[in-house]
């Protein structure tokens, strides 16, 4: 595990497992939002390097990166993993998320995703660039986002399928 994190790579250029993938300017967001599909139909949404949400092919939240921590679904529970550094090593410490914290996190995330959907649906979001068929189609991404149930369901495991 790396001792020092950097901002995420140029996802449009480098995230070749996300096909299609698209970068959108969304009013109210400081950086472009990147959406991508990982086979077999698992959606990822990047609001810059943080927050990031990954869903499985059933539209269930499987993992995310929020407030500098990795959040993952595990048997229907939400677990947060934080890096703990010493001068010699880096270790991950995991803990179950308490109900109040889970409710707050999911509510904030769902509201942000709803604003993205509204911007795409109203034409306020501007396509910047992308890769793959349908990358620049707001309708395509709205269809992908529609697979996510509200309230969000947690996956049984953090893997794609």
Q: Is residue 4 part of a domain?
A: no
Q: Is residue 151 part of a domain?
A: no
Give me the pLDDT at residue 5, please.
46
Looking at residues 13-27, what average pLDDT do you find? 95
**Where does the pLDDT of residue 13 fall: very low under 50, low under 70, confident under 90, or very high at 90 and above?**
very high
Give me the pLDDT at residue 8, please.
52
Q: Is residue 100 part of a domain?
A: yes
pLDDT digits (tens, 9 = 90+) for 58-111: 999 999 999 999 999 999 899 999 888 888 888 888 899 999 999 999 999 999
Calculate ∠ Cα 64-101-81, nearest 5°: 45
Give me the pLDDT at residue 32, please.
97
Q: Is residue 22 part of a domain?
A: yes
As for how many domains the chain has, the answer is 1
Residue 1: pLDDT over 90: no
Q: Which residues have a Cβ under 8 Å from the Cβ of 38 and sit 6 or more positions away?
A: 17, 18, 44, 160
Domain range for residue 135? Answer: 11-145
Give me the pLDDT at residue 70, please.
93
Q: Is residue 63 part of a domain?
A: yes
Q: Is residue 61 part of a domain?
A: yes
Give me the pLDDT at residue 92, please.
82
Q: Is residue 49 part of a domain?
A: yes
Out of 5-9, 26-30, 139-143, 151-155, least confident range: 5-9
Residue 6: pLDDT over 90: no
Q: Is residue 139 part of a domain?
A: yes
Strands (DSSP E) contained in the chain are 18-25, 33-38, 42-47, 52-55, 61-66, 69-74, 77-85, 90-96, 126-131
């Amino acid at each position: 595990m790396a001792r020092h994190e950097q901002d995420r790579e140029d996802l449009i250029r480098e995230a070749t497992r996300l096909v299609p993938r698209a970068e959108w300017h969304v009013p109210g967001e400081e950086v472009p939002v990147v959406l991508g599909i990982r086979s077999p139909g698992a959606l990822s949404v990047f609001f810059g390097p943080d927050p990031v949400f990954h869903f499985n092919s059933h539209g269930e939240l499987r993992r995310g990166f929020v407030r500098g921590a990795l959040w993952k679904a595990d048997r229907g529970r939400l677990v947060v993993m934080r890096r703990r550094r010493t001068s010699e090593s880096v270790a991950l410490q995991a803990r179950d998320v308490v109900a109040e914290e889970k409710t707050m996190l999911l509510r904030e995330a769902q509201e942000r995703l709803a604003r993205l959907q509204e911007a795409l649906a109203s034409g306020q979001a501007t396509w910047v660039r992308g890769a793959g068929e349908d990358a620049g189609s707001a309708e395509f991404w709205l269809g992908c986002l529609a697979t996510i149930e509200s309230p969000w369901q947690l996956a049984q495991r953090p893997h794609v399928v």
